[in-house]
Amino acid sequence: MLTGVHLISIVCTLFLVTGLGIYSVKQVKSAADFAVGGRSISAPLVAGTIIGTLVGGASTIGTAQLAYNYGFSAWWFTLSGGIACILLGLFLAKPLRESGASTGPGFLAVNYGSKAGLLASIFSSLGIFLNIIAQILSAVALLTAMFSIDAFWAALISVLLIIFYVIFGGVWGTGLVGILKTFLIYFSMMIAGFLALQLGGGIVSYTQNFPSFPWFSLFGRGVATDLAAGFSVLIGVISTQTYLQAILSGKNIKASRQGALISGVVIPPIGLAGIFVGLYMRANFPGLDAKLALPTFILEFLPPWLGGIVLATLLISIIGTGAGLVLGISTMLSEDIYRKIIAPEASDRKVLLFARVSIIGISLVTLIFVAGNIDSLILKWSFLSMGLRGATICFPLLGAIFFKKFIHPTVGVLAIGLAPLCVILWAIFGKQSIDPLYIGLLVSLLILILGSFMGKARE
pLDDT band for 168, please (50, 70, 90 cuts).
low
Whether 82 has a pLDDT exceeding 50, the answer reads: yes
Tens digit of each residue's pLDDT (9 = 90 or more) over 106-121: 889 888 998 998 898 8
Whether 344 has a pLDDT exceeding 60, the answer reads: yes
| Residue 208: Cβ-neighbour burial (10 angstroms; 0-12, 13-18, 19+) | exposed
Nearest to 355 by CA among 210, 171, 179, 203: 171
Q: Looking at per-residue confidence, does 168 or 450 come out higher?
A: 450
Q: Looking at per-residue confidence, does 243 or 418 come out higher?
A: 418
Instruction: Please give the backbone phi and psi of residue 408, each rounded to the nearest 5 degrees, phi first.
Output: -70, 145
Tens digit of each residue's pLDDT (9 = 90 or more) over 297-319: 999 999 999 999 999 989 887 88
Look up residue 90 and give its DSSP letter: I
Residue partners of 287: CB distance under 8 A and separation at least 6: none
Cα–chain center distance at 353: 24
3-state SS assignment for residue 41: strand
Residue partners of 86: CB distance under 8 A and separation at least 6: 260, 261, 264, 265
CB 237 within 8 A of CB 88: yes
pLDDT band for 177, please (50, 70, 90 cuts).
low
Whole-structure pTM value: 0.84
Lowest mean pLDDT among 144-153, 370-379, 407-416: 370-379
Residue partners of 456: CB distance under 8 A and separation at least 6: 408
Q: How far apart are CA 132 and CA 323, in angstroms?
A: 8
Q: How far apart are CA 397 and CA 347, in angstroms?
A: 29
**How far does the chain reach from its first CA to its final CA, in angstroms?**
66
pLDDT band for 422, please (50, 70, 90 cuts).
very high
Look up residue 39 and give its DSSP letter: G
CB 382 within 8 A of CB 62: yes
pLDDT at 30: 53
Nearest to 237 by CA among 49, 35, 442, 414: 49
